[in-house]
Amino acid sequence: MGLGLISGYVSKFKRFKKNAEAIVAVMFVAFWFVLLFPLIQGQVGGIFRLRTVSVDYVNYKNFITQQPEFFRTLWIPQIQRFGYFSNYHPAIGRGEIFKDQTLKGMLRELSLPGAEQKLSDLSVKYVVVPSDSESELFVDDGKFDKKQYESAVSGLEKITYLTKERAFGSLVVFKTKTYNQHFKFTQELSSGRILILSSKPSSYKLSILPFKGEMLIFGDSYDRNWIMKTPTETVRSENYNGLNSFKMQNNNNQEVEISYAPQKVVNVLSVFSLILVTTTAGYLIVARKRK
């Protein structure tokens, strides 16, 4: 509306009448370019400051991506903004599994009996202390606190089921002794087979050869909204020591899909919103042309 008023004013001048809208558009773009130029040049501080990814995080990403198998990483105290993660290598980076989310509380809980098994059930292969290149994680009075960082590293060094695997600068990686696969059968010596065909945050397709009565364990925190579709039935998740599980009804070689039911509602609403926006935009364009 404001641009329309300016365009109307400019059109009053005879020499600009034919190109009034184009002139106003160019002026508008030029105005915003001038305002954004300091940002483009990296001259603006704070949240708008251009940031360079530390070589520590580049090397860490290369280290993780060279390992094709599924596993999780646990970040202490939390994941840094440049910390790498993916569908095959998700990060537990916001203290999700801890009751006490302070650094001392996390280290204490990792030392408790049962903590090793908990990490194994969640498929945690590495525990990572981030390099605080942005002075955001180990902070005291608004400044980087080296003592907090050293406390995190030394605290993890004292945990017996962790061994220091690699260090990329000040980014330190510890490895757990064992970790479970993302999907497994309850029987440790099961000869059943599981092959992941596709993996997304809210759905997985598997090719499995189970034994009747076995439970298929899905290593994500239990949520009854996870469902498994087989060629013959739909099975809702059951709680198995805080994880999702599905009871196998036969021993047939089959493909199954495990998905998070609420996500389907989100997908439908997204499609509906896209159709609504497209229809509205089309209507406005046609209505304007008729005028």
CB atoms within 10 A of CB 39: 12
Among 16-30, 43-57, 127-141, 165-179, whose mean pLDDT is lowest? 16-30
The CA distance from 81 to 75, in Å, is 12
116-173 pLDDT, tens digit per residue, is 999 998 999 999 999 998 888 999 888 899 999 999 999 999 999 999 999 999 999 9
SS3 165: strand
What backbone torsions phi and psi does residue 251 show, to the nearest 5 degrees?
A: -110, 30
Q: Which pLDDT band holds residue 12 (cuts at 50, 70, 90)?
A: low
226-276 pLDDT, tens digit per residue, is 999 998 889 999 998 889 999 888 777 889 999 999 987 777 788 888 888
Q: Does the pLDDT of residue 29 top 70, yes or no? A: yes
Tokens of 273: 């919103």
Q: Where are the domains of the chain?
A: 2-48, 55-176, 184-264
| CATH pick for 184-264 out of 3.40.109, 2.30.30, 3.30.70, 2.60.40 | 2.60.40
The CA distance from 92 to 166, in Å, is 19
Do 12 and 33 contact (CB within 8 A), yes or no?
A: no
Do 196 and 206 contact (CB within 8 A), yes or no?
A: yes
Instruction: Please indicate, yes or no, whether the overall pTM of this predicted structure exceeds 0.75.
Output: no
The CA distance from 185 to 236, in Å, is 16
Tokens of 10: 């400019």
What percent of the chain clears pLDDT 70, i.e. is strictly above it?
A: 80
Tokens of 147: 């003592």
What percent of the chain clears pLDDT 90, i.e. is strictly above it?
A: 46
Residue keyed to tokens 């969640």: 122
pLDDT attached to residue 245: 93
